[in-house]
Structure 1
Amino acid sequence: MHRSICVAVAVAALATAAALGDAAPAFPVLAAVASAAVAPLERLPLPLRARAGAALGAAAFDCVGVYAADEVAYTTWDGRSPVRAAPRARTEGRMATCAAAVIAATVDSLAGGAAAAAPVYAAAAAAGGGVPLREANDSACDGRAASAVDGDDDAGCVGVAAFRRFAATHLDVDGMNADGRAGLPAGAAPRPYADVVTGYAPVNGPAAGVTDLTRWTPLTVPLPAVPAVFVTQTFFAPQMGSASPVLVPAAVVQAAARRLPPPYPSAGAYSVNFTCGDRRRGERRRRDPDRLCAAARRVLAGAAGVPPATAAAVRSRDLSLGAAAQLPAAPPAGGGALAATLTVDFIVKAALWDTTVAVWAAKVRHDAARPAVLLPAILPDADAWTSPRPTGAHTEYPSATAGVCALVSALHAALGGGARGGGGHGGGGHAPLPAAATCGDSTVWDGIHFPPAVARGRDVGDAIAAAALAVAACRAPGTPGLPPCAGGGGEGGRRRR
């Protein structure tokens, strides 16, 4: 969807594009793998794509510490000391091969298995003159996954080992229940990504009806593969709100979620029969302490009053920026900046997952209703209104789109020079993305969110960005745009055991 816009926005924003530039790539195998991996990763639901993006970004960052020729004190993704390659083996070519093996292993393990990964490995072999890339299950790489990444000359195996270590230390224990076995008796059929943590259940629905106006009501929607069949939405993976982050400490992620005020502090003031009254008929105003009617009318107005070009630019950015940042980064065309590219890619992808965790924690906590249900119920002039865009199968507050957009915008403002690989300076020398303050506005115009959800989503993205930069400063000291390492960031997003 919006493929050309997606690539253009991502290149301008972060230089972490899902498609390659026009220049001949300096790392042909990595370029081919990054391009071939886009299609299977794009088929993942966005929250799971964020998880896969964090995996490939974090494991590929481990390649930097092994093969970087400079003397920067890189750590692994989780703050450990990497085993560096011998000086003669510290080359960008080996770093690129290592990162390519990570991307391919990510597709193989998280985005469709061997069938989805086959075109990725074929692209690698074609770009490498027939030399195959080490595969995720290559027995030649066995024995390395349980220990620190081994800095030897077999860069493909180092990449496989880096991904295996991330899987063992994070993915397998992150609380997402990816294998579907948690909470089930022996022999029971697994239920991948089933929630066995929160116990969340909607209070509204087809059976109960609407018993609380301000809380989430799952919609009955057509099945994408079979439009003639209708199903009731199920909140997608509510346990994601308590999953392990990757870069930012878990306590900081959860604090960002808890800091948000409730969207409806006076929810008890709204009966299930509440309406805003028909102003055209002179009906008196109802008591509305949380200004629910004003928010609903703002959604109903859509993009009225917004210049069409501005609305189109904001909508395109909101639709594409976060999705593009979750996909593999294109390597720098000119060479000489691969370590910077992989470092920035790690920071962005890990922080994007951490933002998703914080947003989901707040979504479960507040359980807020979507405009698709509220507007027809409370606005007499919206009784036939429907959202112009599909409404996600999760609660409304805060907005994940706004949170991710704010995060990526803030990181670009700090890391723009490093992301472009041009040696530029970060920090105040880089302006935020154009119209960064409008992150998520299109979700109001398109009937997905109310304005407070967008504003609070931005707050979460900004908070996670600041925390991510502070932790990353100790992962890759001296990276342009990062503050000085203040210490104490070794644990990152890992849970203490």
Structure 2
Amino acid sequence: MHMLRRTRKAAFALVTALAVGQAHSFDFDTGNAPAEVIIPTIIPVILEDVSPGASDATLVLRNTTLVTNAWFDAIAPYHPTAVGVYTRHAHRLSEPTDSEKNTAIFYASYQVMKSLHPNRMATWDAMMNSVGLDPSDDSTDPNTPVGLGNLAGMNVVLNRENDGMNQLGNIAADGTPAKYHRVPYQDYTGYVPKNPANKLLFPSKWQPAQVSTGNGLFKVQQFVTPQLKNVTPYSYNSPKRFRAPKPWNSFVLNWSGYVNQAQAVLEASANLTEQQKLKAEFFDNKFRSLGFSALQAAGLNQLTLMEFVQLDFLVNVAAFDTAIAIWQEKYRHDAVRPFSAIGFIWGDSPVTSWGGPGLGTVNDMPANQWQSYMKVADHPEYPSASASFCAAHALAARQFLGNDNLFWHVPVPAGQSVVEPGITPAADTEIVFNTWTEFEQDCGESRVWGGVHFPDAVPAGQAIGHRIGALAYDFVMDHIEGTP
């Protein structure tokens, strides 16, 4: 059974069940609660409330990591040796089915999602009711799956609500305790961009883009969650041990390097292939790429429910802990994005590049009007976050699974491009990742193809991702083996 296909069917069934107020036909004995019910319930909420394109990785990863942490802790007692990260209970006799594990996972998820999205209580209650569980059952009896799940979720919340991310908005912008008008995830580091959106005063530094919100409205970007660099990691003590080399080619005084890396981005833009466009979009969406790759691996390797939870927690920890170090480095280097540098170098002179949706390559694009294929992310350029996440994720998965196999064929119907709808691809096609190595390599390169990163940002991100992916693997395996 292909787990991704099953998940999509389950998502449709769940939405239908919730809409008509009926119970979802989930089999507790043989089913996979995360893949069949919980993930399909959480994704629409994150897409609507957090990140419409699932590209705002810091907040997406926070949601997925805390939820998978709760799953891991909830069913650790059903493993012969495993112990939870925040919850430790005596081991139980192996169950003949997965019924108790699935029950514990549901209640653990419920507790975490209440904390992350308290305005969505109706959704979380409906999810529980749809599978015949009582959302008001707040038992903390560790001798029951309900109690194990509640305790696991509650302890993740207890340890993570005040982990430096400012989830509750109880730290004001000046770093003092907030008493009034609390803003969840508000920056308290005092970060201020060196450049305004309308003028590049410091050509080596990040410039917020002015982006359209539709209907003639525009907004200026803000550095998304710069305080992530202060968040408590899982697998190491301090991100200060991870340093990316200085991006010398982004220093304007190194003029030849500055121009050469901008030309490299323009060349990639001018020569975009259909496959490159589709992969750039694919990796920009962290659910489609990072999230569903774990489902593909689970199906390919025929993982049990326990093994799936362990893998999913592992790859999330790898990416989450990598994000903390990468955000430290983004904050430290504060590097310029391609769109700013290209306009600065060539002004209104024409450049050859992708011209916009459906226009292909043009030779008369004014450099100061140049746009990348993908939307510009709302944080400094260096190092590449996406490249680092994929590197950490892929390395951790390879080590856990014991092989590099992925064999993932992702179908893309004609005209289903996000950037060029109705145009790209010209016919039904697919993008293919035979190995995890191909997956992480294409992920990194896609950020250059998409025009949002200079080439040097990719290996700089991958190097940090590989180091932290290995640490995350050791961290999770120590908990699986009962020796954290």
Which TM-score applies when normalising by structure 1?
Answer: 0.73
SS in 1 for 2:369: coil
Give the match's secondary structure for 1:440: helix
Match of 2:393 in 1: 408
- Deviation string 1:442-488 (CA, Å, 9 cap, x unpaired) is 221221110111121111211111111122221113xxxxxxx9x6x
CA–CA distance in 2 between the matches of 1:192 and 1:444? 32
SS state at 1:175 partner:
coil
In the comparison of the two structures, how many residue pairs are matched? Answer: 411
1:202 matched to which residue of 2? 193
> Equivalent residue for 2:164?
175
Q: 1:42: which partner in 2?
A: 47
- Give the Cα separation in 2 of the matches to 1:388 and 1:313: 11
Q: 1:269 aligns with which of 240, 253, 267?
A: 253
**Matching of residue 390 in structure 1 with residue 379 in structure 2:** no
Aligned to 2:99: 93
Give, as a single letter, the amino acid of the residue that structure 2 aligns with 1:352.
A
Q: Give the conservation status (yes or no) of the 8 Å contact 2:193–2:208.
A: yes
- Residue 180 of structure 2 aligns with an amino acid whose one-letter code is A
Q: Distance in 1 between matches of 2:241 and 2:317?
A: 18
244, 250, 256: which one aligns with 2:237: 250
Measured on the aligned residues, the alpha-carbon RMSD in Å equals 3.5
Residue 143 (structure 2) pairs with residue 152 (structure 1): yes
Q: Secondary structure at the match of 1:87?
A: coil
1:203-222 alignment runs, 5 A limit: 203-206=194-197, 209-222=199-212
Using a 3 Å threshold, how does the CA distance of structure 1 residues 396 and 227 change in structure 2: closer, same or farther? farther
The one-letter amino acid of 2:478's match is C
C-alpha change, 1:335 and 1:92, in structure 2 (3 Å) is farther
Distance of 1:180 and 1:321 partners within structure 2: 25
Structure 1 residues 316, 221: closer, same or farther in 2, change over 3 A? closer
Contact 1:67 1:84 in 2 (8 A): no
Q: CA deviation at 1:254?
A: 3.1
Q: 1 CA distance for matches of 2:45 and 2:404?
A: 24
1:346 aligns with 2:351: no
Gaps of 5+ in 1: 1-7, 145-149, 271-286, 421-429, 478-484, 491-497
1:327-338 equivalences in 2 (<5 Å): 337-338=304-305
Distance 1:173 1:121 in 2: 25
Aligned counterpart, 2:82: 74
| Matched-pair contact (CA < 8 Å) for 1:151–1:158 | yes
Shift of 1:90: 8.1
SS of match in other structure, 1:35: helix
Q: Is the 8 A contact 1:200 1:238 kept in 2?
A: yes
Contact 2:290 / 2:390 at 8 angstroms: preserved in 1? no
Question: Would you say 1:232 and 2:220 are equivalent positions?
Answer: yes
Query: Where does 1:51-200 land on structure 2 (aligned, <5 Å)?
Result: 51-68=62-79, 71=80, 73-78=81-86, 82-84=88-90, 86-87=92-93, 92-111=98-117, 113-114=118-119, 116-127=120-131, 131-135=132-136, 138=137, 140-141=138-139, 144=140, 151-153=142-144, 155-169=145-159, 171-182=160-171, 183-184=175-176, 187-196=179-188, 198-200=189-191
* Alpha-carbon distance in 2 for matches of 1:181, 1:24: 39
Structure 2 counterparts to residues 277-356 of structure 1, below 5 A: 287-288=255-256, 291-302=257-268, 308-309=274-275, 311-312=276-277, 314-320=279-285, 324-326=289-291, 337-356=304-323
> Do the aligned partners of 1:34 and 1:328 also contact (CA within 8 Å) in 2?
no
Paired AA for residue 446 in structure 1: G
8 Å contact from structure 2 (residues 165, 228) kept in 1: yes
What's the secondary structure of 2:143's corresponding residue?
Answer: coil
Change (3 A) 1:180 1:186: closer
> Which amino acid is 2:195 matched to?
N
Cα distance in 2, alignment partners of residues 463 and 436 from structure 1: 14
Aligned-pair distance for 1:419? Answer: 12
Residue 58 of structure 1 deviates from its aligned partner by 0.9
The answer (yes or no) to whether the contact 1:216–1:367 under 8 Å persists in 2 is: yes
Residues 418 and 440 (structure 1), Cα distance of their counterparts in 2 relative to 1, 3 Å cut:
closer
TM-score (norm 2): 0.75
Deviations 1:338-391 (A, max 9, x none): 111111111111121111111111100000011111111113432331222211
Question: Partner residue of 1:368?
Answer: 335
Q: CA deviation at 1:215?
A: 0.2
> Aligned pair in 2 of structure 1 residues 220, 406: CA closer, same or farther (>3 Å)?
same
User: What corresponds to 1:424 in structure 2?
Assistant: none
Q: Give unpaired runs (5+ residues) of structure 2.
A: 14-24, 352-366, 406-433
Q: Comparing both chains, which one has the higher relative contact order based on Cα–Cα distances under 8 Å and sequence gaps of 6 or more?
A: 1
